[in-house]
Structure 1
Amino acid sequence: MTLLARIRLVTFVLMLLGIASVPVCAQKLGPDGAPNPDASVTSQRTLLEQAPRIQGRIDIPDVKASVLMQPAGRAWDYFHEVLLHWGGALVIVGTIALLGLAYLIIGRIRIAAGRSGRKVLRFRAFERFSHWLTAVSFVVLGLTGLNITFGKIVLLPLVGPEIFSEISEIAKYMHNFTSFAFVAGLVLITVIFFRDNLLAQVDVEWVKQGGGFIKSKHAPAGRFNLGEKMVYWFSVAAGVAVSASGFVLLFPFYGTNIADMQLAQAAHAIIAIFFIALILAHIYIGTLGMEGAFEAMGTGEVDLNWAREHHDRWLAEQLEREDRRPSATPAE
């Protein structure tokens, strides 16, 4: 019995040693004769060449969590953290620099004949409301959106991480909810000013006369000149595009995947940057660039001489309409 027990013990020990030695024998040896644990493992490069992303098996219902690695995410991160920073700064700062240069060279466009003292109604109250609803909401969206892109670079070093975190959280909610006001204003100005911004024969003449920038020539125009019409149509197109991509980001993964969300974010950011540059030029012309222009959206009325110099065809129609209007019967 003692001999049999010893044989069983030796056999058991040999079996344990054999099991332990199997993984070691299965490993390939490296150049120095040592085992290479990665020799039998597929390289990361090979995996990435086989599929656009690596997926695993998970127990939770969220299928997005099964994406273990997505090479396209590196391209998106490079765009968001490098290209967008440099490109956005170049566009916005470059626009401000060009507008400043224009102010230094051209200066403020004055009313050549001086103010007449007579006012002409240019925009009604509801038209001004629609414009300011869109304008104010755009400013809020622009500032809060720029914080997402440049906040960590510009604002964070100034206020510190705690205050920056609070500012960014508030900015996020402001950006999300103000978007609905912007869309409402965009629909209103699209409908209200659509007919007046259609191309007309007078726009060709406006271009031939230098668009009002050549002092020796008079550029005729209707209610809106060709430059204002271009701002209108670019604003409508950019507004629709930035709103559509914004709502995709606001309601993520409703019929979209990770790649679609990255594309929507990139489109939203690029369009918004150029949209901001366009509106900066619009604000400049309506304030510093031209005397009497801001009054149109401020009070709704403009000086008669201003209207004659910049929108003579429209002014003629307004005066003719006033002449045809029956005068009030005097009280007896």
Structure 2
Amino acid sequence: MFKRIKRTSLVMLSLMAALLLTFSFASNASESANKGSASVSEREITQLAGADFWRQVRQGEEGNTTSQFPEHGVLISTPGQTWYILKEKWMSPAGAIAIFGSISVVILAYIVVGPVMLSKPRTGRKIKRWSRLDRALHWSMAFTFLTLAFSGLMLVYGKHFLKPYIPTELWGFVIMLAKQYHNYLGPLFGVLLILILFKWWRKSIFSRVDLTWFMKLGGMVGKHKGTHPSAEFSNAGEKALFWLLIVVGSVVAFSGLVLDFPIFGQTRRDMELSNLVHMLSALILICGFVFHIYIGLFGMEGALEAMVTGEVDETWAKEHHDIWYDEVKDQSIEEDKAEIEGNEYKNRGASNEQSA
């Protein structure tokens, strides 16, 4: 078994190394081409306008214009080179490593640790957990987030992984489609974020029991694997993921709106900063939701069906959310008692009418 794990890990690491090398070579080739075209443009402008004029422009010398924009006199934004270096030399490679690393971790977790299974057989009795509105919000957010993540990654990495291998016309159509989709659907992410906050914030307030859940790592790994620590309707991991989505997602949404609507006096510095913040916060969300997707699809028995059907088996509720299960059970007993008392009252009333 360990030999198989080692071989699998070696293959994964080799694939990651190959992808990163491909990314590096593509980046270097693109950089060389950009430098070559830039040098040609500089020589042509220098010949047309003169070396002194070009030097003044490079140093931020302002000219005259009728524009009222805050940076109306700046022809070339020299500090923009800092933004370009941060984006292309640091953020893009680090983001690729973070995403590949997150995917590799969950694959290794599945191979080495395995999914969390129920320790007892299912009873067949179902408990309502999610309403139709809950499920509609969840899957709407899932679709919106995943498609925005894919289109955003295409805008950042497509020129390295796709552009060299397809016709220029097709690449132009693909990148135009990704850009338009990302720009127009982006505000919907912010709307869904507000709806989810108002719908689920009460279920996501941390309590003392969540500390024990974190200390036992949710009963998913280590010596506590399979122990199923106590949890309310939402366990500590779900609460942490919820607030990660709300806080970091708000940063993503706000910075995206700044980029989407450059009509409120934003300068180039504002746009560059918003772009970097947008990229960093989006990468944090993507890496976080890699683990969420793993738990929902592969890492925990019964997790996916809860959000598909809205119901969970009694055993699943008792093992993963025992505090919530006890509340639901007590509520069900009270409802049954009330129903029995109501039926008895109706029966006594019918008997009295017959006697009269």
TM range, normalised to the smaller chain?
0.7 to 0.9
Cα distance in 2 for residues equivalent to 1:236 and 1:82: 29
- C-alpha contact (below 8 Å) 2:57/2:76 kept by paired residues: no
Match of 1:30 in 2: none
2:130 to 80, 100, 123: 123
Alignment of 1:311-330 (within 5 A): 311-325=321-335, 326-327=338-339, 329=343
2:80 to 69, 73, 76: 73
Equivalent residue of 1:238, what SS? helix
Identity %: 33
User: How many residue pairs end up in the alignment?
Assistant: 290
Q: CA deviation at 1:324?
A: 0.7
Pair 1:88 & 2:98 matched: no
Q: CA deviation at 1:167?
A: 1.3
Against the structure 1 CA distance between its residues 115 and 159, is the aligned structure 2 distance closer, same or farther, given a 3 Å change threshold? farther
TM-score, normalised on structure 2?
Answer: 0.76
1:277 to 273, 279, 287: 287
Q: CA deviation at 1:163?
A: 0.8
Alignment of 1:1-332 (within 5 A): 41=52, 44=55, 48=59, 53-59=60-66, 64=71, 66-213=73-220, 214-215=224-225, 217-325=227-335, 326-327=338-339, 329=343
TM-score, normalised on structure 1?
Answer: 0.81
Equivalent residue of 2:312, what SS? strand
Cα distance in 2 for residues equivalent to 1:46 and 1:169: 32
Write out per-residue CA displacement over residues 62-113 of structure 1, whole angstroms, 9 at most, x where no aligned residue.
5645312222111111222222221110110011011111111111111111
Cα distance in 2 for residues equivalent to 1:252 and 1:43: 28
Higher helix proportion: 2
Q: Structure 1: which 5+ residue stretches go unaligned?
A: 1-36
Q: Structure 2: which 5+ residue stretches go unaligned?
A: 1-49, 348-356
Cα distance in 1 for residues equivalent to 2:226 and 2:293: 26
Quick one: which amino acid aligns to residue 310 of structure 2? Answer: G
Cα distance in 2 for residues equivalent to 1:295 and 1:105: 24
Quick one: which amino acid aligns to residue 63 of structure 2? Answer: G
- C-alpha contact (below 8 Å) 1:210/1:217 kept by paired residues: no
Against the structure 1 CA distance between its residues 89 and 216, is the aligned structure 2 distance closer, same or farther, given a 3 Å change threshold? closer
- C-alpha contact (below 8 Å) 1:133/1:182 kept by paired residues: no
Against the structure 1 CA distance between its residues 294 and 138, is the aligned structure 2 distance closer, same or farther, given a 3 Å change threshold? same
Q: CA deviation at 1:175?
A: 1.1
- C-alpha contact (below 8 Å) 1:207/1:219 kept by paired residues: no
Write out per-residue CA displacement over residues 166-221 of structure 1, whole angstroms, 9 at most, x where no aligned residue.
11111222112212321221111111110111111211232344422223634100
Q: CA RMSD in A?
A: 2.3
Cα distance in 1 for residues equivalent to 2:254 and 2:211: 33
Equivalent residue of 2:339, what SS? coil
Quick one: which amino acid aligns to residue 166 of structure 2? Answer: V
